[in-house]
Chains A and B, each alone.
Chain A
Amino acid sequence: MSYLDLPIRAIHEALVAKKTTPVELAKEAIARAKADKENAFETIEEEKALAFAASLGEPEADNLLWGIPYLAKDNFSTKGIETTASSNILNGYVPLFDATVITKLKERKAVLIGKTTLDELAMGGTGTTGHKGITYNPFDPKHERLIGGSSCGSAAAVASSIVPFALGSDTGDSVRKPASYAGLVGMKPTWGRISRYGLFPFAPSLDHVAYFTRNVDDSAIVLEALSGRDEHDSTSSTKPVENYESHVKDGIKGKRIAIIKDINDSITNADLMRSFNASVDALRKEGAIVEDVLFGEKMLQSLYPTYMVISCAEATSNNANLDGIKFGPYYDGKSYAEAMYNARTKGFSELIKRRFIIGSYCLMRENKEELFLAAQRNRAKIVERLNEILKDYDFVYVPAAPSVAPLIHQLSDKLSAEYLIADNHLCLGNFAGLPSITVPLCLQNGLPIGVNLMGRAFEESDLFAAAEVIEEITGLANLSVLNRKEGNL
């Protein structure tokens, strides 16, 4: 056990008491990063991290992130640090500015240790499509199982206790799903709560900054540091930032929780549902009112295709600037168009090209009304239904995934209810922009599965309080591969 295995507040207390120093913590995080066996890293910034840690001076008792090491997914701009989004088309690209979240963490004197792998350009949910190859799940040392994506490296690193928190991004479920597979707390706050300036855009109407921690209290601490209006991002909210940590122990008495019955009905994993139902009983004992609600099966079955149409269409347009001219490797041609053609043909992987073509097809004049606009209208209908439920209930509570991390080459029936609903419902939170948090529920054969809570817009404090109760029920706070906790629910 080292300080890196502890919650942020405990590390902070050790730093303030001078039992350890930012340099010691950074050195240990770097040593652990170098020993990483999961292929979680794009870069380890040893020199910069140690220099920054050494510059921090005296401990700041009122700053919980002072000297705390962290990692960022490699789709956040970091000045002077190569940032590729795990895509060959951005090899060698060194941003000239920091993303706002990187600036905020620098101001709080958190220490950036390195950048983590992702599914190429954050488009994918497996952690297998980045230009450095597959990122593995640390809970499966045989390297047969997915960690999930797209924020695969950040998930693997936090689960391996390399750092106590790591930044990710979440357009459909890219933090909250890997959090389920890696036994972590994965938080995607309200759309607009955290500035996206400097986050490489995938589908801006759905993109969120999100992050991993190993417990709910840490998640509340990190959200307060990241949140707030940013003049560089006109979609960032002007709503005041709360002291989220002060609400973590508020409890759940009298709160109303909706279980989406048609999501649960699509899950075939009986052990998972036994654990889930046990957690529901425990929530009732804590004073919550928990009731089944029907969302509408047809609408739930339309979630995944609606997500695919909207996200691929937005991505097609947002990535038009990746052409090998202004940045990225240049490939010559007879004309500038041919030079771009060569760069994009060589720079994008097959999966990315397929997604762009799907997006382009949905935007073709002949298809736009029937596909793209229909998907956008359907999104409005889905969001209306979700907000209807949240008029009567404080939270929606469901399993975050239908199983433990799948085997890497496992095939699934992509027309089944389990795939379309149970495996892909977390995009509800992106459609509606609502805060949504995954916390560990149980372990099956040593592999974690999480549950997800979603609340009303900008009511993150309530969400943390409810998530904390679940964490107390499961006893799975601070789960990591070094700190497995069997025999829970």
Chain B
Amino acid sequence: MKTITIDVLKDAANRLLFDLTEAEYQTLYEEFGILTAQMKAIGETGDLSKYEPMTFPFDCETSFLREDEPVKPLSREEALSNASNKLNGQIKLPKVVL
């Protein structure tokens, strides 16, 4: 398992596209000490190799096909209504190619 250091936590935060203050990283580092101790309990419940990873509580009957009925899509105005930064009917972002 990857050793937890402040740098590992900073790398994880940056990959998630946010930052914390130095004091917050320190709090998180200390929290990991407790979490790691708690997580040990997962390995102490006995052999888990016969269990498949559980991704949903149980299988449910469903249908992945629907009737091919036309539906009204969002209008441009609606789609843009929650964007804070827009220009000429489009979301405005910083230039990708400088």
Interface of A toward B, CB cutoff 8 Å = 92-94, 96, 191-192, 205, 231, 234-238, 296, 298-299, 301-302, 304-306, 308-309, 316, 323-330, 332-341, 344-345, 348, 350, 353-354, 356-358, 360-361, 364, 366-367, 370-371, 373-384, 414-415, 420, 430-434, 457
Contacts and interface: CB of A to CB of B under 8 A. Distances in A.
A318 to B, nearest CB: 12
Interface of B: 1-2, 4, 8-9, 12-13, 15-20, 24, 27-28, 31-32, 34-35, 37-39, 41-46, 48-49, 51-58, 60-64, 66, 74, 78, 81-85, 91, 93-94, 96
A120 to B, nearest CB: 14
B41 A361 contact: no
A353 B82 contact: no
Contacts of A354: 20, 24, 27-28, 31
Contact of A341 (B17, B38, B62, B85): B17
B41 to A, nearest CB: 4
A299 B84 contact: no
A326 B81 CA distance: 9
A296 B41 CA distance: 12
Q: Which label, helix, strand, loop or mixed, suits the secondary structure of the B interface?
A: loop
Contact of B91 (A308, A325, A337): A325
B84 A324 contact: yes
Nearest to B40: A305
A344 B42 contact: no
A378 B27 contact: no
B42 A433 contact: no
A131 to B, nearest CB: 16
B38 A414 contact: yes
Contact of B53 (A94, A327, A376): A376
Contacts of B19: 341, 345
Given A327-B83, A353-B13, A361-B12, A301 B1 contact: no
A317 B63 CA distance: 25
A415 B38 contact: yes
Contact of A380 (B9, B18, B34, B53): B53
A309 B39 contact: yes
Give the 6 A-B CB pairs with smallest separation, nearest first.
Answer: A433-B57, A376-B53, A327-B82, A330-B84, A344-B18, A380-B54
A355 to B, nearest CB: 10
Residue of B9, B13, B57 with most chain A CB atoms under a 10 A cut-off: B57
Nearest to B24: A350
A381 B48 contact: yes
B31 to A, nearest CB: 6
A302 B41 contact: yes
Nearest to B47: A381
B58 A191 contact: yes
B78 to A, nearest CB: 5
B97 to A, nearest CB: 11
B54 to A, nearest CB: 4
B94 to A, nearest CB: 5
Contacts of A374: 42-43, 48
A419 to B, nearest CB: 9
A276 B92 CA distance: 60
B62 A234 contact: yes
Contacts of B34: 414-415
Nearest to B67: A231
Contacts of A414: 34, 38
B35 to A, nearest CB: 7
Given A298-B46, A378-B42, A323 B17 contact: yes
A191 B18 CA distance: 33
A306 B2 contact: no
B83 A334 contact: no
Contact of B58 (A360, A373, A457): A457
Given A305-B42, A356-B16, A430-B57, 11 more contacts: A191-B56, A305-B38, A334-B94, A340-B17, A350-B20, A361-B2, A366-B2, A370-B1, A374-B48, A380-B53, A381-B48
Contacts of A348: 18
6 contacts: A308-B39, A325-B85, A336-B96, A354-B31, A373-B53, A378-B42
